[in-house]
């Protein structure tokens, strides 16, 4: 074959190489973009899982704060304290109600943050995540009801009186934090079980980053 006849073949080969190079570059670009998107999604899921867990732990702390058996002097209004630093007898209801109202503000703020992160989690992971929070919501409602019943009795509304020893024990179990292993505190395990639902769902996303 004459050299002059090789020209079209060389030109065609060059065009083929250019085409192959372009296809190869496109494939690598696509793979790189896919890896980048996957990395971004992983980082977003990690941060979201971390944010949700942090807000869950704040709620756990709020439960302990509200259920603290001791009400300290600084939790009462100053004008309701006697010269010994104790709550005046005639202010028993008002002072206790004030203390629990301030404590509940901590719970409200913690739960508000959790609800916001929980909504974002539903956007990310779909409707399967929406029921994870149900247990904690139920615990919050249960605690709020017991607090209201206790305050109503202090106000003299005896129709909410816990009548049997079992009922009184159940109420104290919810109202007062007794520790993680207390035989008298049956409510803390209930709260921990509700928190464990978040742990089981979110911990794998947090662990991926580690």
With respect to residue 21, please indicate whether it lies within any of the assigned structural domains: no
With respect to residue 142, please indicate whether it lies within any of the assigned structural domains: yes
With respect to residue 39, please indicate whether it lies within any of the assigned structural domains: no
**pLDDT at residue 60, rounded to an integer:** 97
With respect to residue 113, please indicate whether it lies within any of the assigned structural domains: yes
CA distances (Å), 7 to each of 2, 12, 17, 18, 144, in order?
9, 9, 15, 16, 89
Query: Which residues are paired to 87 by β-bridges?
Result: 81
**pLDDT at residue 13, rounded to an integer:** 52
Please tell me the distance from the alpha carbon of residue 134 to that of residue 186, in angstroms, as a whole number: 19
**pLDDT at residue 20, rounded to an integer:** 58
CA 118 to centroid of chain Cα atoms: 7
With respect to residue 73, please indicate whether it lies within any of the assigned structural domains: yes
With respect to residue 159, please indicate whether it lies within any of the assigned structural domains: yes
Residue 158's domain comprises 51-209
Give the containing element (helix H, strand E) for 127. none
Q: How many domains does the chain have?
A: 1
With respect to residue 133, please indicate whether it lies within any of the assigned structural domains: yes
- pLDDT by residue for the chain (210 residues), tens only, comes to 544 555 554 555 555 555 555 555 554 444 454 443 455 455 788 899 999 999 999 999 999 999 999 999 999 999 999 888 889 889 899 999 999 999 999 999 999 999 999 999 999 888 888 899 999 999 999 999 999 989 988 887 655 555 677 888 888 999 999 988 888 889 999 999 999 999 998 999 888 755
pTM: 0.78
With respect to residue 145, please indicate whether it lies within any of the assigned structural domains: yes
């Amino acid at each position: 074959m004459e050299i002059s006849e090789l020209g079209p073949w060389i030109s065609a080969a060059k065009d083929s190489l250019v085409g192959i190079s372009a296809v190869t570059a496109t494939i690598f670009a696509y793979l790189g973009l896919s890896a980048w998107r996957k990395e971004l999604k992983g980082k977003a899921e990690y941060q979201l899982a971390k944010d949700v867990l942090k807000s869950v732990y704040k709620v756990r702390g709020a439960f302990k704060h509200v259920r603290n058996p001791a009400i300290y002097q600084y939790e009462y209004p100053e004008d309701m304290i006697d010269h010994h630093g104790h709550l005046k007898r005639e202010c028993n209801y008002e002072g206790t109600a004030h203390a629990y109202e301030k404590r509940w503000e901590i719970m409200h703020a913690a739960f508000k943050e959790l609800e916001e992160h929980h909504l974002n989690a539903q956007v990310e992971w779909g409707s399967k995540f929406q029921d994870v929070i149900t247990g904690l919501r139920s615990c919050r409602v249960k605690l709020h009801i017991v607090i209201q019943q206790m305050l109503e009795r202090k106000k003299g509304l005896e129709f909410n009186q816990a009548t049997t020893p079992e009922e009184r024990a159940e109420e104290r179990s919810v109202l007062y934090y007794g520790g993680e292993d207390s035989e008298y505190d049956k409510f803390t395990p209930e709260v921990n079980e509700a928190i464990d639902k978040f742990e089981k769902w979110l911990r794998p996303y947090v662990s991926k980053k580690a």
